[in-house]
Amino acid sequence: MKRREFLQSTAAGAGLSLLGNLPKNVAAAEKSKVALVRTDDRAKGIQAALKLISFPSPKGKNVLIKPNFNTADPTPGSTHNDTIRQLVQEMKERGATRLAIGDSCGPGNTKSVMEQKGIPALAKELGFEVINFEDLPPEGWVQFNPPGCHWKKGFSVAKPVVDAEYLLWTCCLKTHQYGGVHSLSLKLAVGVTNKSIRNEMHGNATHIRRMIAEIHQGFKPQLIVMDGIEIFVDGGPMSGKRVTAGVIVAGTDRIAIDAVGLAVLKNHGSNEAIMSKKIFEQEQVARAAELGIGIKTPDQIEIVTGDSASRDYAAKLQDILAVG
């Protein structure tokens, strides 16, 4: 299947206006369930986590998987290929019609990063399409300029993401030393923006974290899976102080996922930027909550587990979350 065919088959319609396709995000009134599995096996962990929660079915859908291919550095520097393999299999088993993986890497060249990671070969083996957002034509981007946005001229999002019938969001769990503070599900959104606008964000030390959250007004994933088997508690996003946390986390609420991820970082002893602030005071999280991207308070999170080891670990995270 060609990239153009995938774009056409997933298109929601022509003539998107600046704000016409913004999702109507409303903070969840009920608790957001977040699956947590303690494991050192990504395939088994993902399989177990997806059995613990309810999420929209991909049956009959064209599924776009957005990984963390910022660079080709070893996980958690980038998404592990075992994670990609298992997610593709999970979607196929649940009846997905077509699958694609899409990203725009940075600062490296996307094609080169994907080749270094062996993604083209994996795509051929497993039968999914690869979409390099860097290769999209001008009409392959959707411009957003929502009220109160900290982007001077708004921001552009890859059209395959905006139009995706089913968006599967898969992130790593790590700190970010270049202004983001943490790189979890919210930070993953930078890879769906046009590279030409990223300098504005990275050069804005005051509002970079708010700008990251604002990108999420352009789309909404149906499922989020976070690989926390190995994490960076300092440094990042390419390399850093590595710790084995041994967790797979999954859910449908981006803020809830990030809150649990931040609790993991705190549990393992992270840097000052993480440890000195309450979770919902982190600017990515606070701005996303303000925009109605997901939950607003930590007491709206319910961590669900399926075994005693996961349950004991989750209890520690719930205590950290309770602090705020």
Residue 201 forms part of a structural domain:
yes
In-domain check, residue 115: yes
DSSP-derived secondary structure letter, 280: G
Residue 41 domain-assigned (yes or no): yes
By DSSP bridging, strand 223-235 and strand 129-132 are: unpaired
Judge whether 8 lies within some domain: no
315 belongs to a structural domain: yes
10 lies in some domain: no
What are the pLDDT digits (tens) for 6-46? Answer: 544 444 333 333 333 444 444 435 899 999 999 999 999 99
Determine what percent of the chain is predicted with pLDDT higher than 90.
89
Domain-embedded: residue 4:
no
194-215 pLDDT, tens digit per residue, is 999 999 999 999 999 999 999 9
Read off the tokens for 48. 């177990």
CATH of the domain at 161: 3.40.50.11440
Which pLDDT tens digit goes with each residue over 58-84? 999 999 999 999 899 999 999 999 999
Pick 120 or 18 by higher pLDDT.
120
Q: Is 34 in contact with 302 (CB distance < 8 Å)?
A: yes
Residue 319 clears pLDDT 80, i.e. is over it: yes
Cis preceding linkage at 76, omega within 30: yes
The residue type found at 34 is V
Answer whether 54's CB lies under 8 Å from 2's CB: no
For residue 304, the model assigns a pLDDT of: 98
For residue 292, the one-letter residue type is G
pLDDT for the residue numbered 106 = 82
Overall domain count for the chain = 1
Within-domain flag for 287: yes
Boundaries of domain holding 157: 28-322
Q: What is the pTM of this model?
A: 0.91
